[in-house]
C-alpha cells in the first residue's frame, strides 16, 4: 500500500527542502504542489482553463521559482475552480507506489487528509525573508513584505486556507540547520513506518 507524506507550511519555511530530502531518503516520488499553481499563474490566460489543461511539462518552466510566479500562484490558488481542476492530479500522485511526498499549503487538510504522515513546517518571518532573498538575490525587506502579504492571503482565502492539520507534527525551522530539520522529519516518518 502506498505511503503518503503531506508537508504543509508557508513560503521559505523549509518544507520543500525537507520534502526533497524525505523523498530521497525513502525512495518516494515528490511533488511540489506549489509548482502547479505557479505554472497556472505563469502561463497566464484564463486560470481555470489553464489549470484544466495543465501538462507535466508545464512544471519544467525555468521561471516558476521567481517571486512573480509565487505571487501569481497565490492569486490563482484562491480561485475554487482552479483548485478543483488540480485536485485529482494531486490525489492520484499521492498514491504513487511505494510512496509519495507532497508539499504545499493544504496537503494535510484538503488534498490528502488520510496521509500516513503530516508535517507542518514553519519559520519566523525574518528567517524566511532572509532565505528567500538569498535564493532569489533579492532585497530582504522586499521579501519580508511579500511573504507577509502572501501569508495573509493564503491564510484567509475561502477555499483551502493554509493551516496546520490537527494531527500534523509541527517543525519550526527558524533556528535549525537543514540537517537538523531533515533529521526531525526523518525520525517522524521512521516512527510511522514502523507501526
Residue 14 is assigned to a ligand binding site: yes
Residue 13 is assigned to a ligand binding site: yes
Residue 11 is assigned to a ligand binding site: yes
Residue 181 is assigned to a ligand binding site: no
Residue 45 is assigned to a ligand binding site: no
Alpha carbon distance 90, 88 (integer Å): 5
**Cβ(174)–Cβ(9) below 8 Å:** no
**Cβ(104)–Cβ(168) below 8 Å:** no
Residue 145 is assigned to a ligand binding site: no
Q: At what angle do helices 67-76 and 34-43 cross, to 10 degrees?
A: 100
**Cβ(80)–Cβ(158) below 8 Å:** yes
| DSSP per residue, 23-62 | HHHHT-EEEETHHHHHHHHHH-S-HHHHHHT--GGGGG-T
DSSP state of 195: -
C-alpha to C-alpha distances, 41 to 32, 117, 124, 126, 171, nearest whole angstrom? 15, 29, 26, 26, 29
Of 110, 107, 90, residue with least CA distance to 29? 90
Residue 56 is assigned to a ligand binding site: no
Q: Residues annotated in the binding site, as ranges?
A: 9-17
Q: Residues at the annotated binding site for ATP?
A: 9-17
Amino acid at each position: 500500500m502506498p505511503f503518503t507524506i503531506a508537508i504543509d507550511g508557508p513560503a521559505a519555511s523549509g518544507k520543500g527542502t525537507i520534502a526533497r530530502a524525505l523523498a530521497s531518503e525513502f525512495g518516494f516520488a515528490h511533488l511540489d504542489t506549489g509548482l502547479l499553481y505557479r505554472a497556472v499563474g505563469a502561463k497566464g490566460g484564463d486560470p481555470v482553463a489553464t489549470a484544466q489543461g495543465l501538462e507535466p511539462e508545464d512544471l519544467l518552466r525555468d521561471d516558476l521559482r521567481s517571486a512573480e510566479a509565487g505571487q501569481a500562484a497565490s492569486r490563482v490558488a484562491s480561485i475554487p475552480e482552479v483548485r478543483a481542476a488540480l485536485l485529482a492530479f494531486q490525489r492520484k500522485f499521492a498514491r504513487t507506489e511505494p510512496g509519495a511526498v507532497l508539499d504545499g499549503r493544504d496537503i494535510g487538510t484538503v488534498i490528502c487528509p488520510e496521509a500516513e504522515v503530516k508535517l507542518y513546517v514553519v519559520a519566523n518571518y525574518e528567517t524566511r525573508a532572509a532565505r528567500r532573498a538569498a535564493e532569489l538575490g533579492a532585497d530582504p525587506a522586499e521579501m519580508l513584505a511579500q511573504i507577509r502579504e502572501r501569508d495573509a492571503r493564503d491564510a484567509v482565502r475561502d477555499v483551502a486556507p493554509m493551516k496546520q492539520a490537527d494531527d500534523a507534527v509541527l517543525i519550526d525551522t527558524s533556528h535549525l540547520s537543514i540537517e537538523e530539520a531533515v533529521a526531525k522529519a526523518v525520525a517522524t516518518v521512521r516512527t510511522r513506518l514502523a507501526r
